């Protein structure tokens, strides 16, 4: 489907933090899609997500889970 999507990136490189292995995003709503790519070490994420009547959010419900390196 041709759904408009937002793009985002997160770069934690050099901060001493990284996303946990369980950090995921979920699509919600109608025609929502997500394409999220996380680096193996969890310091970088790029993605696009959303749609006409939907969105994507971190799956934890409380935000993104990070860990101290």
**pLDDT value of residue 2:** 61
Residues of the chain with pLDDT under 70: 1-2
Q: What pLDDT shows up at residue 1?
A: 53
Q: Rounded to an integer, what distance in angstroms lies between the CA atom of residue 22 and that of residue 31?
A: 25
Q: From CA 40, how far away is CA 4, in angstroms rounded?
A: 28
- Rounded CA separation 64/12 (Å): 12
Q: Among 6, 11, 5, 9, which residue's Cα sits nearest to residue 46? A: 9
Domain boundaries, the chain: 3-56
């Amino acid at each position: 489907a041709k759904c408009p999507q937002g793009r985002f990136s997160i770069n934690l490189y050099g901060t001493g933090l990284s996303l946990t292995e369980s950090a995921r995003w979920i699509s919600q709503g109608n025609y929502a899609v997500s394409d999220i790519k996380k680096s193996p070490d969890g310091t970088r994420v790029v993605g696009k997500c959303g749609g006409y009547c939907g969105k994507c959010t971190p799956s934890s419900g409380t935000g993104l889970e990070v860990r101290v390196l």
